[in-house]
Structure formats: C-alpha cells, structure tokens
Structure 1
Amino acid sequence: SDMASKFLLEYFILHTYFLLDATFPSFLKTYVGRLLNKEANTFSSRLLKDREPIIRFIDYERLKLESPEIFGRSFHLKILKESLLRTIADIDSTFSQDAFKYNLNSGSTATVVLIVDGQILVTNLGDSKALLCSEQYLSREDAKATALRIYHQKRRDGTILRFKDCESCKMAASKGLAHLVLKELTRDHRPDRDDEKSRVEKAGGHVLEWSGVPRVNGQLAVSRAIGDVSLKSYGVISAPEVTDWQPLDINDSYLVAASDGVF
C-alpha cells in the first residue's frame, strides 16, 4: 500500500500525458492526409508560397466539427479511465518485481476515485469500498409522520421538550425532512463470489473457508489484489473492477473511500 500510494499520482500523470501525446499527433497526421486529398492544389500552393509549417494551415474549427469525439469531454474521460487502468497495472508490475526479488508475500487492496467535471469514476481491487451518500427529501406526509415519531420517541425516553423543539418538528413536517441514502460504488472481490470463484478454479486454485472466511487456496480472503504474487497463478488478478463514469447529482453530499479495516 505504501508503494501504491507513492507511485499512483506519478504514474497516472505520466500515462495521461503519453496517451494524449500519442493520440493527437496521429490524429493530426490523418487529418492532414485528408486535407491534402481534398484541397491538394490550394494547400500545396500556400505551402510553397509561404513555406510555413503544415500546422499553421489546419482549420481547427472545421476539425472540431469533423471529429467532435476528439475534442469532446467524453474523449478526455476515456483517456483518464485508460490512464488509471494502466497506472494500476504498472504499480502491480513494479511491486511484483520487488516481491519476486525479495521474496515478499504481501499485497494490497485498492479503491481509486476520479472526479472530473461533475462526473465520477471508481475502480477497486479486493474488499476496500467507495460509498456515495446522497440527501433525499421525504414528502410532507412522510415528513409529518417522521416528526411525530421523533416527538413520541423523545417523550418515551423522558426527554423534556421545549417549545422551540415542537416548532422545529412543525417546520420539518411542513418543509419535508432530508435523509441520507447510501449507494455502494464498489463490489467486494470475495473468493466465493460466483464469477471470482469460477476464475480461481479455472486457474487451478480452490476456495476454502478458514475461520469462517472464504479464501483462495485457504490463504487469501480476496480474489483480486496488487501483489500477492504467490497466488497470481491460481486466479488472483490485479485487474480492477470499474464503475464507469456517471454524473454526480446536486444532492450527492458525501463520498467515503476506505479499506476493509473501516468496514
């Protein structure tokens, strides 16, 4: 986990840069080729006359119209997603090299969240989680019933209600009460999950319970992880599961990302 935390941002920035650097030049070459075919005479005469670099003659407004996917937000979100997947693969590769070299048997789970322009993407390995908490409002009828339930509960508990407490209940009943709704953005990679168990068994591994917990070969309690090189040949993989880009709502209030020690 220390290595993953250390290299995550560095690798992610590098992969994003490399992908953008590889995408745009190749796209511009294709565009210039089309331009030469469509407007060969005009383009050639201008090039010979002005002796300016080709890039000066590219009509970027036309380029945006012809290939909006390159300049649209969805394209950049795809780049960021691919960069993150490559980052996690590289971190696993880097750690695995050290693990083989120094005979290390450790590993790590991971949950990584990207938030860009009001969109959220989550990747996870193992049993660390990401939870999104959103505010939702009850209808007036439900709010009134909730306010009365709170009032009677306080009376039963022996709480002395003051006038302003009753006014607060009335206000809540008239405007509606907010409550938090929890949405889990990740799925735990447990060895006994049907798809995970199938992969482990196809690789020659098996799932056994030890102390009431399903484990790969009776050892590891997760079926995906960074590291844990001794079990990679038995179906433990480092490919994360992705909850793809989705828009955040104005009522989304809290995001919790934490390891299994919290949950």
Structure 2
Amino acid sequence: MDLVKEYSEYKEYIDEFAKTINPHDQLPLRVAGYCLRDYEIHGEILEWLMTYLGKSCPVTFRIYLIQLAIQRTLEKVKDSPVECGFDENRNVYQPLKLVRIVVAVVNEIILDLQDNSKLYEVPLPPTSSLASELTQLKAPPKYSVDAIKNSRRTMEDKHMIIDDFNGYFNTQDTEPTFYYGIFDGHSGSDAASYANSHLNYNIAVHPKYPSDITTAMREAFLVTDIAFLKKAKAENLNSGTTALCAMYRKTEKKLYIGWCGDSQALIARVGNVRQIVKKHSPEDESERLRIEKLGGAVLYWGNSYRVNGALSVSRAIGDMMHKPFLSAEPEIECIDLDGEEDFIVLGCDGLWDNLTEDEVAIAVYKKLRENPDLLQKYKNI
C-alpha cells in the first residue's frame, strides 16, 4: 500500500500551509467585537478555524483538524482560563486573546503532522482508493459563494458553509448532511457574526436533532436570538440580522429551509424555477396585524413599509430596540428532492430586489453551460 500516494492531498496542503504561518502575527483572524460566555466558545472557534484553514483544506482533513483543535483549546481553557482571555470580573472571555490560543493550537497540530508517521493516523481523504464508501458518500456538493459590500462602509453580512455537518459536530447521526447559511446584518455586523457562528451549533446540540430537524431548526433560531439579546443588553449592541439556512440530507433526499427576514432561496429543476422562501415584510398583512397586536406600528417611510418607521423587515435575530415587534420566529420548510434538481440559490434581499428569479436562474445556467461537466455534477445535488 502506497501511503505517500494515498495521503498526497493532505501532504500538499500541510506543506503549503506551513509556508503561511506567521508566529508574530498578533491578529491572524478578524473576530467579533463582543465577549464570549463559556457556552459560546465552541461555536466561535468552529467559525474561526473554518476561516483560518481556508477552502483549500480537504474536507475530511479539515474536520479532523477542527475537532482536535477544539478539544485541545477547551482543555487549555479549563486549565488556564486567564491565559485564554478569561475576565474574572465580568465572567467572559476576550476573543482577541482566545483566538491567538486557537491559532497557535492548530498551527502546532499541522506542523506536527509534517511527520509522516503521525499523518498516517489521520482518516483517509474521500478521494483515496482506500476510503470507505461512507466517507465517499459524505463528499460535499459543488457550490459557489460571492459577497458584495456595495456602498456600505463596512461589510455587515456573513455566510457559513459546513461540508459535513455531523462530522464537524461529532453527532451520532450518519446521514450525510450539508449546511448553508446566509445572514444579512443591519445596524452593524455583530448580530450577523453571532448568528453565523451559533445557529448551526444550536441546531447540532438540540435534543431533537436529527430525529426532528424541523423542531431543532425552529428552536435554534429562537435560542440564538435570546442569547444575542442577552449579550446585546450587557454590551450595548443594537444590531440585527435576517437569517436563512438550508440543510441538505443527501441519501434521504430532503432539503430543510429555515428563515426569518427577507433573504430568499430558489430551486431549479430541469429549467423550471421556484421560489421556496416567502420573505417576512411589514407590508404583508399578517405581519402587519401581528405587529399592531403587540402595540407596534407599520409606517410607510423611505419608499417602503417599516416597523415603527425604522426597519423594512418584520422578522430578524437581534434588534433589541425593536423587540417584540421584530420576531425571530422562523418559518421552516422540508422539501422532498427527486434527483432532477439542477441547483439551489440562497441570496440576501440585495439580489432579489434587483433580479427576478428567472434572471438569477438564467445567469447560473449560462455558467453551467460553459462547464458541461459541472452541470452533470450538479445533477447529484
């Protein structure tokens, strides 16, 4: 058995990554401005590591590195909390100190794996001829991501892609599951950053996951909102975010969509396009009645209907100043897939306000036509 060949994908990544390590970089990653409670560390570390390791890191290898790095970091947090940024007076962790510990831990792990004898203890890549059928089945669908700031001073939107949901969170579920989330922040990026890091985690640790994903997803939205509002009150944060997430269950052929706000998603089947998300707008009569029943008002201002004359969405995570009128209660849909789906598009309102569903789908189909091999791969999504 030629182990050098079987592990060549990992070895190539390790060699390239080692060249980029800068032990003198005091801020290797951007972190959110809020502090962290004990129960928030895991979700934040996961987001940091996925960003730091980059897209070029093979999926199976990335899962191994992240699980090991989280385990070792949590051990350090337990043994030396102050070194990891713990503030005893406020009972919180400073993210700038903690992120340096996390980066140092994963750097050490990767450099240690330059020793081939240790590398060969890592699970084989799915491309390996020796990889199990289950490992190959977990190979993620093809996807593309793009984000544009436009005229905003800073980027307030976030996104998260988890190629092997159960692998990253070490759940007992063996169904190949893939997670995609987009978060359109407003009045700052803190709420979007928080939801980006913690919504997926709250789904994974919910007692109803995976037996009742609809319930797990719905309650994860609410738990995430409550936790951020608590943080917002303590740290004077006023931002909010819409949230849209999708979970694709590969062999079950099911797609779970959960959302609050005005981000939307379409699904294309053999040229037929369908919008699968109904946006939450104060212009909608049911939303207006809900808001007015709670004592709020929907006013027409700045060419759109707004909650209390301020926000043009009627549901969102965060927005402490506009609760309870802005609800974080999501809508959840479970869609049965039949194998004829070409692609799914998730987008913030900036996309749908400027392009129709047909225009979006045509643009994607044109790209796929330029790459006919890719189109066949998309057929498997």
Take 1:130 and 1:8, find their aligned partners in 2: how far apart are those partners? 18
CA 1:102–1:128: 2 relative to 1, 3 Å: same
Structure 1, gaps ≥5 residues long: 21-75, 136-179
CA displacement at 1:9 relative to structure 2: 2.4
CA displacement at 1:130 relative to structure 2: 1.2
Structure possessing the higher radius of gyration over alpha carbons: 1
Other-structure match for 1:27: none
Mapping of residues 1-263 of structure 1, within 5 Å: 1-15=192-206, 18-19=207-208, 79-116=212-249, 117-135=252-270, 180-233=271-324, 235-243=325-333, 245-263=334-352
CA displacement at 1:249 relative to structure 2: 2.2
Which amino acid in structure 2 is aligned with residue 93 of structure 1? I
CA displacement at 1:239 relative to structure 2: 0.4
Q: How many residues align?
A: 159
Take 2:296 and 2:262, find their aligned partners in 1: how far apart are those partners? 19
Percent identical among aligned pairs is 31
Q: Deviations over 1:45-93 (max 9, x none)?
A: xxxxxxxxxxxxxxxxxxxxxxxxxxxxxxx5x5122111121111101
Which amino acid in structure 1 is aligned with residue 259 of structure 2? N
Bigger relative CO (Cα 8 Å, ≥ 6 apart): 1
Other-structure match for 2:120: none
CA displacement at 1:106 relative to structure 2: 1.0
Structure 1 stretches of at least 4 aligned residues deviating more than 2 Å after TM superposition: none
Q: Secondary structure of the residue that 1:196 maps to in structure 2?
A: helix
Take 1:259 and 1:203, find their aligned partners in 2: how far apart are those partners? 27
Structure 2, gaps ≥5 residues long: 1-191, 353-381
CA displacement at 1:8 relative to structure 2: 2.2
Q: Secondary structure of the residue that 1:9 maps to in structure 2?
A: helix
Q: Which has the higher helix share?
A: 1
CA displacement at 1:252 relative to structure 2: 1.1
CA displacement at 1:258 relative to structure 2: 1.6
Take 1:103 and 1:210, find their aligned partners in 2: how far apart are those partners? 27
Which amino acid in structure 1 is aligned with residue 265 of structure 2? A
Take 1:201 and 1:13, find their aligned partners in 2: how far apart are those partners? 35
CA displacement at 1:104 relative to structure 2: 1.9
Take 1:106 and 1:131, find their aligned partners in 2: how far apart are those partners? 27
CA displacement at 1:246 relative to structure 2: 2.5
Which amino acid in structure 2 is aligned with residue 7 of structure 1? H
Task: Return the TM-score normalized by structure 2.
Answer: 0.40
